[in-house]
Amino acid sequence: MKLRFLFSAILGALVGVCVSRAADAAKDDDVYAPHTPTLIFYLTGVTGQPDADAISNSVAKLPSVRKVNVNAARGFAQVRFDSYVVSYHQVAQAIADAGKAVGKKFDPRLKIRVPEYAQAGNAAKVDVVFAGKRLNQRVTVKPVDKSQGEFLVHFLPLELDPAETGPQGFNGGHLNHPIHDAPPRGLGLTCIYAAEDH
């Protein structure tokens, strides 16, 4: 009898561990899902819960959005989505549209870091990427602190083509590839989009 009880207890514990590990693995798969960034969109003019609700409701309507956290007090929205389904620009436009709906301009912006920017010879090369004609039809990149390689990406208004499926406008790779990819395709430098507010 004691042996059967002991066996049942051990079996129950093992099943519990397997279920727990399976749940952890599922969480890890979600965390490491390819092309599914979590980004911080910095905002202006967000003053309270009605603004936060308007942003959350607008962004949540986009396909593939997994998380929307709006911090009205600190002026940012943290959004997780699949960038192969909707673009960074489409998320920013949903935030801007939420602002229009409540009579405000939220001006969503992303912060990027290129830590090696200030090292010899890098600034001029990165500036050429930032000044690209195609890029500047979608966004403008403004320095925050060049010594730290910090910049803000400002989105231009996005007109969606209803005949197109998939991401439209600016997407992460439009800066990441020319800056981060190994030469000759890119500059071989680090390019980081802010995922947490610091």
Does 126 reside within a domain? Answer: yes
What average pLDDT is seen over the chain?
86
Q: Is residue 6 part of a domain?
A: no
Q: How far apart are CA 193 and CA 176, in angstroms?
A: 9
Q: Are 188 and 129 in contact (CB under 8 A)?
A: no
Residue 12 is assigned to a structural domain of this protein:
no
Determine, yes or no, domain membership for 134: yes
Q: With respect to residue 27, please indicate whether it lies within any of the assigned structural domains.
A: no
CA angle 140, 107, 149 (to 5 degrees): 45
pLDDT tens readout for residues 98-138: 999 999 999 999 999 999 999 999 999 999 999 999 999 99
Q: What is the pLDDT of residues 136-172, one digit of tens each?
A: 999 999 999 999 999 999 999 999 999 998 999 999 9
Residue 105: which CATH number? 3.30.70.100
Q: How many domains does the chain have?
A: 1
Domain enclosing residue 92, as ranges: 38-193
Give the span between the Cα atoms of 189 and 191, in whole angstroms: 6
**In contact, 87 and 168? CB cutoff 8 Å:** yes
* pLDDT band (50, 70, 90) for residue 7: very low
Q: Is residue 19 part of a domain?
A: no
